[in-house]
């Protein structure tokens, strides 16, 4: 019992503990944000803001085209309106800046409730639950994910995946159905969620094999119905005649329906007295679902990113670190990814005598399997590390609760301090990542080329200066475009959205090629301005393509004759050119 009757062991199990942790994080992050400023973090955050603005300004709910990119046709976007809904709702009430500040913070609440549910269903101790609620800032990918102004779609999809994992541990058919709806929203936001959704479906199947619990069919039925309903609500009739392979397709829904039918038939197969026989009966599900997917998805079974133009692969996608596998990351990031998996394995080993024969053995097995699957997926796709680190939190809490009291019980100060640091080093990827940081420069990844880094100028480019520049069409590198759109009334030729490979390729060829080729691109699009930021990494990359190419010429003192430097709007690393 604590001071004046307060019992922290009881408190950490209550919803009030979640609210207290969430409130503390909100206050801390808002104070930090007041110092660093209230602008979106990166290009995707700016584009999400543009999408919300367009909707609130009257663009149709089911139309997410960005018409200020490559006008008048605009850029086709694969993003879902589901992510826009909370931002737009708060923007209508409190204004745009407050909405962008609060929405990422609010996503932390369902994440914490899901973590609490996982830890309670595993039967963790009070101390472990307490650690599990507060340790997320020590997971390197999570603080930025739940930070103000970070409004892209990666955090919502990770939270939905975490909720699915928490519901997976419940024995309720209703919970399985809710998990199916969450999985539908997840895959509608991003098709990248499909591999882990397939894993969750497989784990529901294992539950049936192990215990006979019939939860797979409710999950799949809700997934099929939810994906159809949410798809029609957000995309309308276009869902029936899609043009792209990077979104939820009728073929996916067909496969979900086929799997649902098969899952409903599995219990009717006779002779399922043992787990092995029930597992064999479950083979009916992939026997129905895989041919349905093969017949209806066709070429869309392939990864859309494998079909990118070679120019985009060379000068764009190959440098988007969040979309690359672990072996193409800096050493510190690679180790962080591997360490996240190690935390789950260490927790499984530490608690093996406790849970292997326990009443909650099924929940423990399911938790470790989904956490390891997420960790393995993050080895292939870096941005999946967000859900992998969320799912590793209960494992980290187990390690801290098990080893930290032992470390703190050491009598001598030096061993006690070293043991305490070792426990935190084991239980979080942060220490491993920090210790490996010096190796990044000694063994640079392809995304950290020394020749590129050496060309990045010092200083920043203030695109808000362009608000007074007469609106026009701008040729600008891909990453800077969304911020210029967010701060001004200009339009741009292209930004970093892969469906629109033609304009993207033209922009890349313009900057990496000779000035004459850039002039051809400018004339074909009718651009009014050319803008370059010398302190931007993408411009530095373009400069390495060839000596004397357009990117190098723009940053020199002798621009081509068909451009005129506007000294009024140029400042520092920012060069603004008018097309003559």
Residue 381 pLDDT greater than 90, yes or no: yes
Both tokens of 482, joined, read 């969304």
Q: Are 67 and 103 in contact (CB under 8 A)?
A: no
CA 347 to chain centre: 25
Residue 6 pLDDT greater than 80, yes or no: no
Give first-to-last CA distance, the chain, whole Å: 78
Please list the residues that pair with 474 across neighbouring strands. Answer: 492, 529
Residue 357 pLDDT greater than 70, yes or no: no
Over range 119-147, report the average pLDDT: 95
> What confidence score (pLDDT) does residue 186 get?
98
Residue 251 pLDDT greater than 90, yes or no: yes
In degrees and rounded to multiples of 5, residue 475 shows phi and psi of: -90, 115
Task: Name residues whose C-beta falls within 8 Å of residue 548's C-beta, 6 or more positions apart in sequence.
Answer: 514
Both tokens of 184, joined, read 């539908």
Both tokens of 70, joined, read 């490559």
Tell me what the pLDDT averaged over the chain comes to: 94
> What confidence score (pLDDT) does residue 239 get?
87
- Measured on CA atoms in the order 325, 331, 335, 336, is the torsion positive or negative? negative
Residue 138 pLDDT greater than 80, yes or no: yes
Over range 179-190, report the average pLDDT: 97
Rounded-to-integer distance, Cα 391 and Cα 370, Å: 8
> What confidence score (pLDDT) does residue 299 get?
86
pTM above 0.85, yes or no: yes
Over range 339-359, report the average pLDDT: 87
Domain boundaries in the chain? 108-400
> What confidence score (pLDDT) does residue 1 get?
42
Rounded-to-integer distance, Cα 55 and Cα 458, Å: 37
Residue 342 pLDDT greater than 60, yes or no: yes
DSSP string, 28-92: HHHHHHHHH-SS-SSHHHHHHHHHHHHHHTT--TT---BTTBSTTT-B-----HHHHHHHHHHHH
Residues of the chain with pLDDT > 90, as a percent, come to 87
Give 516-558 pLDDT, tens digit per residue.
999 999 999 999 999 999 999 999 999 999 999 999 999 998 9
Residue 2 pLDDT greater than 60, yes or no: no
Q: Are 300 and 249 in contact (CB under 8 A)?
A: yes
The helix (run of H) or strand (run of E) holding residue 531 is: strand 529-533
> What confidence score (pLDDT) does residue 295 get?
93
């Amino acid at each position: 019992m604590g001071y004046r009757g307060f019992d922290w062991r009881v408190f950490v199990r209550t919803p009030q503990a979640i609210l207290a942790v969430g409130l503390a994080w909100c206050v801390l992050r808002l104070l930090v944000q007041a110092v660093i400023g209230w602008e979106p973090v990166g290009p995707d955050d700016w584009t999400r803001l543009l999408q919300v603005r367009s909707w609130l300004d009257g663009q149709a709910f089911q139309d997410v085209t960005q018409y200020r990119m490559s006008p008048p046709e605009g850029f086709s976007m694969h993003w879902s309106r589901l992510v826009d809904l909370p931002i737009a709702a708060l923007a209508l009430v409190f204004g745009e800046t407050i909405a962008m500040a609060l929405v990422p913070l609010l996503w932390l609440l369902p994440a914490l409730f899901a973590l609490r549910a996982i830890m309670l269903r595993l039967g963790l101790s009070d101390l472990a639950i307490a650690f599990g609620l507060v340790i997320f800032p020590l997971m390197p990918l999570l603080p930025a994910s739940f930070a103000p102004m970070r409004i892209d779609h990666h955090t919502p999809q990770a939270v939905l995946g975490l909720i699915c994992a928490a519901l997976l541990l419940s024995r309720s058919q209703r919970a399985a159905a809710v998990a199916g709806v969450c999985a539908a929203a997840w895959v509608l936001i991003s098709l990248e969620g499909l591999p882990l959704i397939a894993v969750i479906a497989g784990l529901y199947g294992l539950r049936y094999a192990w215990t006979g619990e019939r939860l797979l069919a409710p999950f799949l039925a809700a997934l099929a119905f939810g994906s159809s309903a949410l798809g029609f609500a957000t995309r309308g009739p276009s869902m029936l005649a899609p043009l792209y392979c990077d979104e939820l397709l009728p073929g996916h829904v067909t496969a979900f329906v086929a799997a649902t039918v098969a899952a409903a038939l599995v219990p009717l197969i006779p002779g399922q007295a043992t787990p092995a026989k029930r597992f064999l009966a479950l083979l009916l599900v992939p026997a129905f679902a895989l041919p349905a997917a093969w017949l209806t998805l066709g070429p869309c079974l392939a990864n859309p990113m494998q079909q990118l133009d070679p120019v985009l692969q060379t000068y764009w996608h190959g440098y988007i670190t969040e979309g690359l596998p672990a072996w193409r990351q800096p050493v510190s990031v690679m180790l962080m990814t591997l360490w996240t998996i190690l935390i789950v394995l260490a927790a499984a080993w530490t608690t093996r005598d406790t849970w292997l024969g326990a009443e909650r053995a099924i929940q423990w097995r399911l938790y470790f399997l989904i956490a390891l699957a997420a960790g393995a997926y993050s080895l292939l796709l870096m941005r999946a590390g967000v859900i992998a680190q969320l799912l590793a939190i209960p494992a980290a809490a187990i390690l801290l609760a098990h080893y930290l009291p032992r470390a703190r019980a050491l009598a001598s100060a030096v061993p006690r301090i070293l043991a305490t640091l070792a426990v935190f080093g084991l239980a979080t990827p942060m220490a491993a990542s920090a210790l490996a940081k010096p190796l990044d420069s000694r063994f640079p990844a392809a995304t950290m080329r020394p020749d590129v880094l050496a060309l990045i100028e010092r200083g920043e480019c203030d695109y808000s200066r362009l608000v007074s520049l007469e609106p026009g069409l701008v040729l600008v590198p891909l990453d800077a475009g969304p911020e210029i759109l967010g701060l001004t009334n200009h339009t741009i030729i292209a930004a970093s959205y892969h469906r629109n490979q033609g304009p993207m390729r033209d922009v890349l060829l313009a900057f990496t090629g000779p000035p004459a080729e850039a002039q051809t691109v400018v004339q074909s699009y009718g651009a009014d301005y050319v803008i370059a930021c010398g302190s931007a990494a993408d411009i530095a990359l373009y400069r390495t393509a060839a000596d004397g190419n357009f990117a190098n010429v723009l940053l020199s003192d002798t621009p081509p004759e068909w451009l005129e430097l506007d000294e009024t709007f140029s400042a520092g690393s920012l060069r603004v050119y008018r097309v003559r």
